[in-house]
Structure 1
Amino acid sequence: MSNNEQPTRSSRRQPDEERDEEQRSGGLVKKIILSIVGVVILLIVAGAALFFYYASSAPKISQSELASQNGTTIYDSQNRVISRLGLQKREYAKDSQVPATLKHAVVSIEDRRFYKHHGVDPIRIAGAATANIFGRSDGMQGGSTLTQQLVKLSVFSTAASDRTFKRKAQEAWLAINVERHFSKNQILDFYINKVYMGNGVYGMQTAAQYYYGKDLDQLSLSQLALLAGMPQSPTYYNPLSSNTQAATRRRNEVLNAMVRSKYITQAQADKAAQDSITADLDSSHGNTSNGDVNVDEKVIDPYIKEVLANLQEKGYNPYNDGLQVHTNIDLAAQKHLYNAANNTVPFQSNQMQAGVAITDPHNGQVVAMLGGRHTGNVVYGLNRAVQTNRSSGSTAKPLMDYGPAIEYLQWPTFKAVQDTKFYYPGTSIALHDFDNKYKGTMTMRAALVQSRNVPAIRTLQDVGIKRATTFLNGLGISQKKPYTLQNGIGLYISPLQVSAAYAAFANGGTYYEPYYISSITTQDGNVKRFSSKGHQAMNKATAYMMTDMLKGVFTDSQGSGREANISGVNQAGKTGTTNYPGGNQSGVMDSWMAGYTKNYSIAVWTGYDRPQSASPISDTYTNSAQWLYKSEMEYLDSRNHASNWKMPDTVEAVRVNGKRQLVIKDSKWALEYAAIDDDDESSSSSESRSSSLSSSIISSSSVFSNNGQEQNSSSTTTQSSSANTTTPNGNAANNNNNGQQTPPSNAGGQ
């Protein structure tokens, strides 16, 4: 070897360094792998510990709970059962009565590995997760086994609040225990007899009778496949619905799943798939009958309909969760209301409809509700108590016009308002009242009691749309489109909204959102209670002054609600009527009565569902709303009499032109008048009943127009904004006008 070929020291070090570097790199990778493995093991241990911690608190489950047929029970406010979902006679199928074909169908579509796992199936969970991630599914997306589904139906609810790791851990633990104590056949029998099958039917044996009028062992392969597939979505796959394509598709999915599981041949599946999904359906629903609830479902139908919708909004499934639902319904009041509307109160015809809502001003509880009258055998039909496509007429005036005027402008009840010719700004169309007359200058109290339209709209102009909208929002009333002047004499709101809004006047200014359910108890014994948290929608002065004026609607000689007056009952309220839109037809289209005591707020709408094709409501039967209100309020107050309202210390009673009026203390109007003692409020609740009071006005004089309406010429009571002036062409000027207004399609009348 030549000197040139001798290895240098550095070249001899290079392999050693590379070897060391490789060893160091390998050691680092090994450490990383060990760290990852350690973390995974730690997570598994922690997860297992958490699983067993949650499992230790799992509720107990008995055979009776597994075998019971689910059904939500609904109670009234006195803890009496008023409804059970699934009122049909339930037939429990014994194992010998359940065809093997049905069991094969259920297992194929719901849990293909049912006979291989022990309650929880890790392979199924992994497969479901993969399918959901990549959007692939064979109709079996869920990771829960049939046993887990049975446990959920027996103990837990399907509410979103129950979809937690704790609930899943407890569900899995109970499923493992169920598998230890019961055979696969028993578990299948429990499931087949428990699942919800649509139309209030629980269990596949009852479903066989309800849909086909036969027992399970008499059904064809096609029919059994449909029943096996329905529990995933009973309403959607219902063969009685108009969407038969969905039911057909689901039936075929089950047949194909049975082929994959080798329970039937492809030829058998193809033959069964040719059967019409509606073939052999039994319209008489076979051997099913009503249940044991001793309440006519027609009486409580509208209330129960809203309860079910409310349950679903809260994330519960009332048909599968086996809930105990306690509601706020006063069953006696509900029965009286139903009987009054259908039997005792006169209406123009049986086709004339009504919608009524009653709330408790103390808390917002919905006490009773009428969805319609003479509705036949329809279940969960149109609920006119929550329908919002009819104008409320003059019941809007306290809510949008006069309430905000007191709240924001501090108007006294004697504030002068103008009932003079009025054109909607930007138009040549005049606003009229029911009598096509104008009464000149009058007080706000008189204008409200007599339900004059023009003063109400002029008041709204003074208030401004923005402030009126704020006031309405505080009372739970809103709409997508901006409000306009015509809404001041007609809001598109439901009787329930009117009742809840007027309840704020009754209780001193607090608005409570109306609610039906007081508590929900799930199958595992968990109780969730509900209430409505109120907020101050107006000050006490506004609520009291509005109430004081609205008493006169019943008692004043010119009040629009005299037909609803009840001797000895301390009540306040407002009527409302609407005309046909566009002047296409004369007469009244809708008639309303809204009123309240301290204990109840009632709103009544009456009219026809299709007013354009019906005769107008005659003058006589515009009173049907008042008669129905009177019947119900008289009954309610006789059971729970309400005292009179007490004047808050922010309000003063004064005499104006010899009549008792109210004013906000320390307002600019209060400074002009001397306060009077107001001990006997009930004897001076309206202008006409206080005419004997002597005048104690500091600085005012009064004159009367030819029609006898009061006109006040004092500097305080004739103060008015541009809304109370009239331009030479008759248009009302208004600096607060929110753009051009169009005339109302159905102006509010009395």
Structure 2
Amino acid sequence: MNNEDYPSRRRDDDFQDDNNNGRSLTKRIIVWVLGALLLIIVALAALFFFWASSAPKISRNELASQSTTVIYDRNDKVISRLGAQKREYAKSNEIPDALKHAVVSIEDRRFYKNHGVDPMRIIGAATNNIFHRSDGTQGGSTLTQQLVKLSVFSTAASDRTFKRKAQEAWLAINVDRHFSKNEILEFYINKVYMGNGVYGMKTAAQYYYGKDLDELSLSQIATLAGIPQSPTYYNPAVKDTKAPTVRRNEVLDAMVRSKYISQADATKAKAQSVTQGLDDHHGNTSSNSVGVKEPVVDAYVKQVLAELEAKGYNPNTDGLHVHTNMDLGAQKKLYDEANNSVPFQSDDMQTGVAVTDPHNGQIIAMLGGRHTGKVVYGLNRATQTNRSTGSSAKPLMDYGPAIEYLHWPTFHSVSDDKFYWPGTNKVLHDWDNQTKGTMTMREALVQSRNVPAIRTLQKVGMKRATTFLNGLGIKQKKPFNLQNGIGLYISPLQVSAAYAAFANGGTYYKPYYISSLTTQDGKTITYSKDGHRAMTKGTAYMITDMLKGVIDDSQGTGNAAKLSGVNQAGKTGTTDYPSGKSQGGVMDSWMAGYTKNYSIAVWTGYDQPMSHSISTSYEKSAILLYKALMDYLDNENHASNWKRPDSVEAVRWHGHRELVLKDSKWALDFTAMDDDDDSSHSSSHSDSSSSSSLSASESSYFDKHSSSDASSSSSSQPADTNKPGPNTDSSTAGDNQAPTH
């Protein structure tokens, strides 16, 4: 072998070394990856057991009990239990095998083989989610896990965490170890929510079919077994039976796949209507009383359930203990007065009432209607938003913004003369079809004159009026218009919450029903006030001072609501029919009023106003209902009078006490009155002739500042509305707005 061969041998050795090094590196990478995976598995296992160690305890009683959401008033008295029907618990030997087979087939087909959790089921559910495919029959949780969830945890989105899922799995494993499959199935069948306030399949058999479980047909059994996945849509008592029919058929098909029934049996059962055998009398599911009649609290409870769902809870399955802000005494008083005491034109004449606490926005009481019969969770007229408030809008959209942005005093001059809606030949008439010339802002508000209110809104401008309304929680998709100055389409609850800002000195609090709730695992969540400043203290006080006159003044439109010794303020509102559609009465009648402790808004009218109108004799039903409720509330919690803030001065104007904002141009030429208490002056309002007989100094001062104010506000005014358009027509209102007062 010559020397030329050596380099070649060295290269072969190098290749061999390279191969060895490559295999060694690959082995090291594999070892590192396996080691990392092992560490991850150990870490996850440690985390799982750490979370599991803090899992809540679960007992037989909790598994066997039915998950009832209980609702309390502010004094911890039970006012409602969801599913108040008589509950029937079915022992395992009372449950037909066909029902057990149906439940297992549709909910957990490997129920008898798994140990509380099913890895294959979890992988299958994950795969279906990734590829967006599912037969609609099997999710990721086993039947045992569903039982644990119903017994211990809530369904709120905030509780859907990895920690909660780990605890759920741990508890399911332990339940499977300590209880037989028949016991677990028994617990589940008796616990699930079945729609329409019904819990448990034995009770559901009575409610839907008026039968015991062993009397049901295969079709009916399959129907019951399919309900728990979506009780609202899959129960057979719904109007559209397509969804429950499809679900029943899915259960039957699942039973065939599991070999519990034959295809012929399934086909025969599918041929039956899903409504066959339904019992309108609901068998023997008599109501369990909680000491409070359902109609008394119906509207309030309906809104509580809606608020729970908005927070991510399922009140039908979560077994919550919900503490509300309801004053049950006030709620009963409101219901009794509306249904039994206050005169209404007929049983069909309706009302919607909301009471809020000005200190925090808590909803104290609510009535959605009167003489509603056995309707549960029906139309809640306290929260509907499609009826005009009439003149109750004037403090909110016209005079409140005038004080807030233009700094008007209560004696500011306003004109009550002939007015045409801008750009039309339509005349705005007042409730008495008269004009009264020049008057003060106080007089115009107390007497509820329409033309001065609209002229005030013109000077304020729509942009500033909208900002003021938005601050009071009043918003709408379409822009507000001039006609809204004498009629906002908002609910009694919105009115009550907005007026509460006047009552408390200018802070708007978002109204709320729930003070706290406790979930099945013992977690308590507390809810508190949510507010922001909507106006200055001066604006709130000056509006309140004027609105006292609506009730206390002999010419005030709310004089019938006057109560001796009660420090209150308020505003009425009615809406007349548009021109040519008169029904011989009014469409709507409102009374909104408040003390420092309560704000009440009452609407009365007919659901079909074009078929029925409120006659003159019953326009005051709203005022009388307000008065009865405020009398009760103030006796329970008497409110002191309002104290004038430092930003407001009381001045002498034409021999009467009026109010101005300090340091405004309106205050410069006047001497403040010694008015620390205000209580002796609350009803000292100028009479209707005061504007026409001013002293010389007052007249010259007023003329000077009135003209300058008009000039400064001219940019927000439309064209001269005293000039009619072509073909003058003395119509009673604009195209969409009826005259109000």
SS in 2 for 1:389: coil
CA–CA distance in structure 2, aligned partners of residues 81 and 345 of structure 1: 28
Give the corresponding residue for 2:363: 366
**Take 2:702 and 2:664, find their aligned partners in 1: how far apart are those partners?**
19
The one-letter amino acid of 1:560's match is: T
Q: Is the 8 A contact 1:576 1:593 kept in 2?
A: yes
1:573-631 alpha-carbon deviations (Å, 9 max, x no partner) = 101111224542253111100000001000000111010111x2122211111011011
Q: Establish whether residue 554 from structure 1 lines up as the match of residue 545 from structure 2.
A: no
Residue of structure 1 in register with 2:730 after alignment: none
How far apart, in 2, do the equivalents of 1:297 and 1:393 lie?
32
Moved more, 41-50 or 233-242: 41-50
- Aligned equivalent of 2:476: 479
Q: How does 1:42-191 map to 2 (within 5 A)?
A: 42-191=39-188
| Structure 1 equivalent of residue 540 of structure 2 | 543
SS of the residue corresponding to residue 515 of structure 2 reads strand
Aligned to 1:611, the other structure's residue is in SS state coil
Q: 2:277 aligns with which of 272, 277, 280?
A: 280
Q: Does structure 1 retain, via aligned residues, the 8 Å contact 2:443–2:688?
A: no
Matches within 5 A, 1:497-508: 497-508=494-505
Would the aligned equivalents of 2:198 and 2:204 in 1 still touch at CA under 8 Å?
A: yes
- Who is 1:302 aligned against? 299
| Equivalent residue number for residue 736 of structure 1 | none
Separation (CA, whole Å) in 2 of partners of 1:689 and 1:367: 36
Q: What do the CA deviations read for 1:160-204 (whole angstroms, capped 9, x no partner)?
A: 111111111111111111111110000000000000000111000
> Cα offset for 1:680?
5.0
Question: Is the contact made by 1:557 and 1:688 (CA closer than 8 Å) also made in structure 2?
Answer: no
Partner of 1:721: 710
**Separation of aligned partners in 2, 1:42 and 1:699:** 95
- Give TM-score, length-normalised by structure 1: 0.93
Q: Does 1:568 align with 2:559?
A: no
Partner of 2:598: 600
Matched residue SS, 1:326: strand
Partner SS state of residue 37, structure 1: helix
1:749 aligns with 2:735: no
Q: Tell me by how many angstroms 1:556 deviates.
A: 1.2
Evaluate the alpha carbon distance shift between residue 217 and residue 684 of structure 1 in structure 2; reply closer, same or farther with a 3 A threshold: same
Deviation at 1:729, TM superposition (A): 7.1
Q: Which amino acid aligns with 1:322?
A: G
1:673 to 665, 670, 674: 670
Is the alpha carbon distance of 1:236 and 1:203 closer, same or farther for their aligned partners in structure 2, counting shifts above 3 Å? Answer: same
Q: What SS does the corresponding residue of 1:595 show, helix, strand or coil? A: strand
Equivalent in the alignment of 1:29: 26
Q: Residues 406 and 10 (structure 1 numbering): CA distance in 2 closer, same or farther, change over 3 Å?
A: farther
How many angstroms apart in 1 are the aligned matches of 2:141 and 2:319? 19
- Correspondences of 1:293-442 after superposition (within 5 Å): 293-442=290-439
Q: Is the 8 A contact 2:458 2:718 kept in 1?
A: no
**Superposed displacement of residue 72, structure 1:** 0.6
Change (3 A) 1:116 1:536: same
Per-residue CA deviation, residues 82-107 of structure 1 (Å, 9 max, x unaligned), is: 11011111000011100111111111
Q: Which runs of 5+ in 2 are unaligned?
A: 726-732
- In 2, the alpha carbon distance for the partners of 1:141 and 1:125 equals 10
Using the alignment, how far apart are the partners of 2:680 and 2:367 within structure 1? 34
Could you tell me how far apart the structure 1 residues matched to 2:257 and 2:13 are?
62
Q: Take 1:301 and 1:40, find their aligned partners in 2: how far apart are those partners?
A: 57
Q: Write out aligned runs for 1:245-260 (5 A).
A: 245-260=242-257
1:280-337 deviation digits (Å, cap 9, x = unpaired) = 1111111110103111101110000001111111111111011101111111111111
**1:486 Cα deviation from its structure 2 partner:** 0.8
CA distance in 2, matches of 1:262, 1:343: 61
Shift of 1:135: 1.8
**Structure-2 change in CA distance of 1:294 and 1:23 (3 Å):** same
**Partner AA of 1:125 in structure 2:** I
The answer (yes or no) to whether the contact 2:318–2:519 under 8 Å persists in 1 is: yes
Deviation at 1:29, TM superposition (A): 3.4
Q: Name the CA shift for 1:542/1:353 in 2 (closer, same or farther; >3 Å).
A: same
Q: Secondary structure at the match of 1:700?
A: helix
- The code of the aligned residue for 2:574 comes to T
Q: Would you say the 8 A contact 1:499–1:602 is kept in 2?
A: yes
Map Cα deviations across residues 269-289 of structure 1 (whole Å, 9 max, x no partner).
Answer: 111111110001111111110
C-alpha displacement at 1:33, in angstroms?
2.9
**How many residues are paired up?**
727
Alignment partners' CA distance in 1, 2:168 and 2:719:
76
Shift of the alpha carbon at 1:518? 0.6
Q: 1:255 to 1:625 in 2, by over 3 A?
A: same
1:729–1:680: structure 2 CA closer, same or farther, 3 Å change rule? closer
Deviation at 1:11, TM superposition (A): 4.6
Give the fraction of aligned pairs with identical amino acids, expressed as a percent.
Answer: 70
Shift of 1:368: 0.5
Matched, 1:613 2:604: no
Q: 1:218 to 1:668 in 2, by over 3 A?
A: same
Name 1:654's counterpart in structure 2.
651
TM-score, normalised to structure 2, is 0.95
Note the aligned Cα RMSD (angstroms): 2.2
Tell me which residue corresponds to 1:522. 519
Whole-angstrom distance in 2 between the partners of 1:441 and 1:367: 41
2:439, 2:688 within 8 Å by CA — same for their partners in 1?
Answer: no
Which residue does the alignment assign to 1:262?
259
Q: CA deviation at 1:123?
A: 1.2
Separation (CA, whole Å) in 2 of partners of 1:197 and 1:86: 10
CA distance in 1 between partners of 2:514 and 2:226 (Å): 32
Within 5 Å, give how 1:692-703 maps onto structure 2.
700-702=697-699
1:394–1:748 Cα contact (<8 Å) kept: no
Residue 739 of structure 1 is matched in structure 2 by none
Shift of 1:685: 2.1
Q: What is the distance in 1 between the residues matched to 2:721 and 2:133? A: 72
Amino acid at match of 2:375: V
Deviations 1:620-656 (Å, cap 9, x if unpaired)? 2111110110111011111111110000111100011
Maintained 8 Å contact 1:109/1:139 = no
Note if 1:730 corresponds to 2:710.
no
Question: For 2:279 and 2:258, how far apart are their aligned partners in 1?
Answer: 31
Give 1:36 deviation, angstroms.
Answer: 2.6
The one-letter code matched in structure 2 to 1:447 is: A
Q: Would the aligned equivalents of 1:582 and 1:746 in 2 still touch at CA under 8 Å? A: no
Of 177, 199, 202, the match for 2:196: 199
Q: Letter of the aligned partner of 2:132 in structure 1?
A: G
Q: 1:239 aligns with which of 229, 236, 240?
A: 236
Q: Distance in 2 between matches of 1:376 and 1:749?
A: 32
Q: Please give the per-residue CA displacement for 1:125-149, whole angstroms capped at 9, x wherever unaligned.
A: 1111111211222323421111111
Indicate the SS of the match to 2:268.
helix
